Structure 1
């Protein structure tokens, strides 16, 4: 494990400059030598997949570099496990604690902040639990539990489920009983089940907006983008699988992809991607004041290694 962490740190130092170096002016297929015709395997969250954003990014990457991207939609935990097994080249996820664990174990290198949106509590217009008047998300969850209103949980190893569990842990309520349903499914399917049952769920804003016209649910509690509680921030990171651990991964291609999606060109695609005129994600890789600690686990100190 120490060897993996050392290798990850060395690889990080040697390769950090690669990400973000894709120029926004490159056009057409047949990109850098060695990439044309290759295939990159990306594991990503159901939220980025269901909204269609990943398809938009991948199409532009393929046009510029001539490489194909095979995207697999999984919950964050499953996506990172696929990376641990060496069955993908890059992961795009949204649970920083799980990403940090992936980095500390040496499986991932060159993490980059990519974009953010927020989580929202959605439910029926009738709002039987009275969430509309709740003072924060913890109070909202307590109101749902107290009224035993249906709550549909992701019930999987996703970033959304991890955030839901954090909220329950900070509340005085305990999820369980007939009113609490664990779907074990992606965000789109959970929203559909919540709508069919007249229940509530925790959703990322992007997926909710992309499905809003298909389901009879509304936002009952806003996230911080609309001045809601800070606990509902939802940040996405992208990480290359460490070639020192899995020498079969397409590391050069992974770094080209990370470089593209964090470049001005990739960030512009994220910025301009909308559904019904509403933006789903906010890019944050290109910043006048970049966070240089984004590459390593939060709190990581090389002096303590």
Structure 2
């Protein structure tokens, strides 16, 4: 009788444990990231199975790299996914982030009017292309928002020792917006724009502008994922952030990245094993 009672008790306890687990409130975590990963639908695709398997809700803040990093520094994010390696390394070296991992890459390219008045088609580097655009004073629309795309653009101008500014250069405009919105403005101005390939594949049928330059090593666009340091902010979901990093760099996560396509075209490429670095 006692054995039977014990068995029933154990069964009830197990059932109650399962019920309690099923009723547990999902853990909420904040991912601060770029506009392109959000606008292309990649994050929804990647995060949905992770949320289901880990009983969590991940709120994605689509901000651009500069703002995404600052939000994390302010203690308002648990993890970041960005694409500006120098800033990522600084974020870690200053103690704000830990466990940075290479996740994926695509590349930047330059779009412009099919007439190509600045004659950039055929040049070998992005810096050469921007030099021709500046010399021809043809409309160029910059993100102007300290995003990873904007930071890369500024690195090209720095090589050229040119400092364009919308206040003094009528041909140079800053949108202060995400990539899709910036492309729309460039289309309206019939101008040139530096854009990531994922957004290009997602938006190319919605614009008159065409692809004029791609493929250079200087246009490589790698992404890194970094957990916010729990020693800086005790409230961050470090354990869950670590699980997300492990998921993203796992064989499964890397395959999901490779399999994600829009209109049959791959938007991002796995970059954990043998990572490629921008030059």
Aligned length: 254
1:280, distance to aligned residue in structure 2 (A)? 0.4
Q: How does 1:21-100 map to 2 (within 5 A)?
A: 37-100=26-89
2:176 is aligned with 1:184: yes
Aligned to 2:139: 150
Q: Deviations over 1:231-276 (max 9, x none)?
A: 1110000000000110010111111111111111111111000111
Aligned to 1:19: none
Q: How does 1:209-288 map to 2 (within 5 A)?
A: 209-222=201-214, 228-285=215-272, 287=273
Aligned to 1:134: 123
Structure 1: gaps spanning 5 or more residues: 1-29, 223-227, 295-305
State the distance in 1 between where 2:123 and 2:197 align: 19
State the distance in 1 between where 2:51 and 2:264 align: 26
Q: Deviations over 1:174-195 (max 9, x none)?
A: 4231100011111111111111
1:229, distance to aligned residue in structure 2 (A)? 2.0
- Provide the TM-score with structure 1 as the length reference: 0.79
Cα RMSD (Å) = 2.0
Whose radius of gyration is greater, 1 or 2? 2
State the distance in 2 between where 1:233 and 1:135 align: 14
Checking the alignment, whether the CA contact within 8 Å between 2:124 and 2:216 is kept in structure 1 is no
1:56, distance to aligned residue in structure 2 (A)? 0.6
1:138, distance to aligned residue in structure 2 (A)? 1.5
1:112, distance to aligned residue in structure 2 (A)? 0.4
Structure 2: gaps spanning 5 or more residues: 1-18
1:169 pairs, out of 158, 169, 186, with 158
- Deviating above 3 A after TM superposition, structure 1's stretches of 4 or more consecutive aligned residues are none
- Provide the TM-score with structure 2 as the length reference: 0.87
State the distance in 1 between where 2:61 and 2:47 align: 12
